[in-house]
Amino acid sequence: MSSLEQREPSKRHHPKNVNIIHKNQLGLNDRIAVTITAAIGTMYAVYFFTLFMAGWILWQTNSANQPFDPYPFAFLLFIGNIIQLLLMPLILVGQNIQNRHAELRAEEEFKTTESIYKDIEHILTHLDEQDKEILEQTKLLKDLVSKKY
């Protein structure tokens, strides 16, 4: 029996799709947090909030017929702080969920790499044994050919 046949297939690592596993573990709140984190963590959200604030300032300055009214500015600061206070914990939760997914992927990649490494070592050992056998057979053939002539 060759050394390849001695390897037990049950001990080999079988890769899993951790994206599906992670997705199945997410509850409703987790899905909402990840969706909002993904949406807020884009430049489009920055553009939206910038345009919203600029639009509010322009609307307030035009409606008050004054070059600048400090009340809308204070109100904008208040609204900006409320948005930050609401989004900060939500983004932290979303990032924690995304980190769990990254850890699952990293663990699965490590197991797969480790399994591939063991398989490659096993194959190299088998090839070394074949090389030895081929060299031995070549030597026998040379001896047979030299005795015949």
The domain spans of the chain are 16-113
How many alpha carbons fall within 13 Å on the CB side of residue 111?
A: 13
Q: Assess whether pLDDT exceeds 60 at residue 134.
A: yes
Q: Which residues neighbour 73 within 8 Å (Cβ) at sequence distance 6 or greater?
A: 57
Q: Where are the alpha helices (DSSP H) in 70-149?
A: 70-148
Distance CA 116, CA 66 (A): 72
| pLDDT band, very low/low/confident/very high, at 56 (cuts 50, 70, 90) | confident
pTM for the predicted model, two decimal places = 0.51
Contact between residue 60 and residue 110 where contact means Cβ atoms under 8 Å apart: no
- Report the candidate in 95, 79, 112, 109 with the shortest Cα–Cα distance to residue 13: 112
Q: Assess whether pLDDT exceeds 50 at residue 43.
A: yes
Mean pLDDT of 66-84: 69
| pLDDT band, very low/low/confident/very high, at 5 (cuts 50, 70, 90) | very low
From residue 122, give the alpha-carbon distance in Å to each of 7, 18, 48, 95, 128. 8, 27, 57, 40, 10
Q: Length of the chain in residues, anyone?
A: 149
| pLDDT band, very low/low/confident/very high, at 1 (cuts 50, 70, 90) | very low
Q: Assess whether pLDDT exceeds 90 at residue 137.
A: yes
Q: Assess whether pLDDT exceeds 60 at residue 20.
A: yes
Q: Which residues neighbour 9 within 8 Å (Cβ) at sequence distance 6 or greater?
A: none
Q: Which amino acid type is present at position 66?
A: Q
Highest mean pLDDT among 17-31, 39-53, 111-125: 111-125
